[in-house]
């Protein structure tokens, strides 16, 4: 219910994009084909993304055409289908609804995703022991509205809108760089002649102008609703990740997911025009799955394990210990990899900066400063006087 309410609010905000897009398209078409054609084409361009988004959220088959082309996905091979059926025999036997469209993605990594009513599985996952747990997690998204809502808010942007916006925003940055270069030169001249520093005034004005133009581009291609509500959508999607984990744990795959999150992570889903992570940290997910594993029998090799033989879950983290931030991986092995990931040029560049700073300091200390013209020097003689300015 919370997702539906958030989606409705997103549609209300998106109505602004509908009006802007209708005005731009109808105006351009009217210049060449008349007002009637302009109004028709403008109406289709304005309302088309919202109508398609509503159809996706309502549950029509979706995610298997445009998303498949974007991911360059392909149908499952016979071997991959056999691996899928063998790993998920327990799921098929329980009668849980399964996606009609399943495609393989030839991309490295152990990952899977639900887009609309379609499942995408990375090729390496078919040969991994984590296949049942990861697919069970994605079934939690499939058998709720998660996949439909996420594809629905992405559908609010016109096809090709992200590419168009990326090109326009890139062009805007280059223009802003040129303008700022000329503006800096002008401000230097103003400061040299009038001693007026306008940098503090022009910098925020230029930044606000760039943001307004960026939002104008988003208004035109669509997606202003998710852009304005990105933080709220992020919180909702994080909660849905926990719900999908619980769904897989109830099916008996909590321990499989715990093993998975101890060494791997699932890729984040993207909210349009919002770049913050939408998945919780592995530490929080392991703690939640550990609690689920104590309440539901778990599956090992397609057979439900005896609760007495179930592995003892590790204790949850101490409440007094602060939670690691989302930007830092909480896993011990992953932390070691991050510490080794320093770029090779960092040490020589740092040493070069320190040497240059030392040389500059030495030069400033050795070079004598010029003598001011109005310095007072005692006049020569047997009894020096206080002297007069400018007399050597």
Predicted pLDDT at 383: 43
Give the mean pLDDT of 336-356.
Answer: 48
Domain residue ranges in the chain: 2-60, 161-221
pLDDT digits (tens, 9 = 90+) for 36-88: 999 999 999 999 999 999 999 999 999 989 899 989 999 999 999 999 998 88
Give 27's Cβ-side CA count (13 Å radius): 6
Residue 61 neighbours by CB under 8 Å, 6+ apart: 100, 101, 116, 117, 118
Percent of the chain whose pLDDT exceeds 90: 41
pLDDT of the residue at 210: 77
Give 85's strand partners.
none
What's the pLDDT score for residue 357?
A: 58
Q: Which residue has the higher pLDDT, 78 or 181?
A: 78
User: Does 302 or 206 have the greater pLDDT score?
Assistant: 206
138 and 124 in contact (C-beta within 8 Å)? no
Q: Is the pLDDT of residue 199 over 80?
A: no
Q: Is the dihedral of CA 324, 330, 332, 335 positive or negative?
A: negative
pLDDT of residue 228 exceeding 70, the answer is yes
Is 32 a residue whose pLDDT tops 80?
Answer: yes
Judged against a pLDDT cut of 60, whether residue 387 lies above it is answered with no
The chain-wide mean pLDDT, for the chain, equals 78
Confidence of residue 13 (pLDDT cuts 50, 70, 90): very high
The confidence score (pLDDT) of residue 9 equals 95
Cα 64 to Cα 230: distance, rounded to the nearest angstrom = 25
For residues 374-389, b (16+ Cβ closer than 10 Å) or e, as one string? Answer: eeeeeeeeeeeeeeee
Mean pLDDT, range 356-376, rounded to an integer: 49
What pLDDT digit, counting tens, does each position of 264-304 carry? 877 777 787 787 888 899 999 999 999 999 998 877 654 44
Q: Please give the residue that has the higher pLDDT: either 161 or 380.
A: 161
> Other C-beta atoms within 10 Å of 90: how many?
18
Evaluate if residue 137 carries a pLDDT over 60: yes
- Provide mean pLDDT across the span 109-138: 93
User: From the CB of residue 194, how many other CB atoms can be counted at a distance below 10 Å?
Assistant: 9
Max Cα distance, the chain (Å)? 116
pLDDT at 385 over 50: no
Give the residue with greater pLDDT, 156 vs 330: 156
User: Which of 93-97, 244-248, 269-273 shows the highest mean pLDDT?
Assistant: 244-248
| 3-state SS assignment for residue 156 | coil
């Amino acid at each position: 219910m919370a997702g539906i309410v958030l989606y409705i609010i997103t549609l209300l905000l998106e109505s602004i994009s509908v009006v802007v897009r209708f005005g731009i398209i109808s105006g351009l078409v009217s210049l060449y084909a008349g007002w009637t054609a302009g109004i028709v084409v403008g109406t289709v361009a304005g309302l088309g993304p919202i109508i398609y988004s509503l159809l996706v959220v309502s549950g029509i088959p979706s995610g298997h055409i445009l998303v498949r082309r974007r991911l360059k996905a392909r149908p499952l091979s016979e071997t991959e289908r056999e691996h899928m059926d063998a790993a998920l025999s327990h799921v098929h036997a329980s009668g849980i609804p399964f996606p009609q469209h399943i495609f393989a993605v030839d991309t490295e990594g152990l990952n899977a995703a639900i887009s609309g009513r379609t499942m995408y599985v990375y090729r390496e996952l078919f040969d991994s022991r984590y296949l049942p747990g990861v697919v069970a997690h994605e079934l939690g998204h499939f058998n709720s509205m998660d996949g439909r809502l996420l594809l629905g808010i992405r559908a609010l942007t016109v096809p090709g809108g992200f590419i168009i916006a990326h090109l326009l925003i890139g062009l805007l940055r280059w223009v802003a760089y040129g303008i700022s270069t000329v503006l800096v030169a002008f401000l230097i001249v103003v400061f040299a002649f009038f001693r007026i520093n306008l940098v503090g005034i022009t910098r925020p004005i230029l930044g606000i102008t760039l943001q307004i133009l960026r939002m104008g581009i988003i208004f035109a291609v669509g997606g202003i609703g998710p852009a304005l509500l990105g933080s709220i959508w992020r919180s909702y999607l994080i909660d849905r990740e926990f719900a999908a984990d619980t769904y897989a744990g109830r099916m008996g795959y909590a321990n499989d997911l715990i093993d998975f999150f101890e060494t791997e992570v699932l890729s984040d889903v993207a909210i349009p025009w919002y770049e913050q992570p939408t998945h919780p940290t592995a530490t929080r997910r392991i703690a939640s799955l550990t609690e689920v594993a104590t309440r539901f029998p778990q599956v090992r090799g397609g057979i439900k394990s005896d609760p007495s033989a179930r592995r003892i879950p590790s204790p949850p983290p101490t409440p007094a210990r602060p939670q690691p931030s989302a930007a830092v991986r909480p896993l011990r092995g992953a932390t070691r990899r991050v510490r080794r990931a320093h770029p090779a040029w960092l040490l020589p560049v740092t040493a070069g900066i320190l040497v240059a700073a030392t040389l500059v300091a030495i030069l400033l200390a050795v070079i004598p400063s010029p003598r001011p013209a109005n310095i007072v020097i005692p006049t020569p003689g047997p009894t020096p006087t206080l002297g007069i300015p400018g007399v050597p």
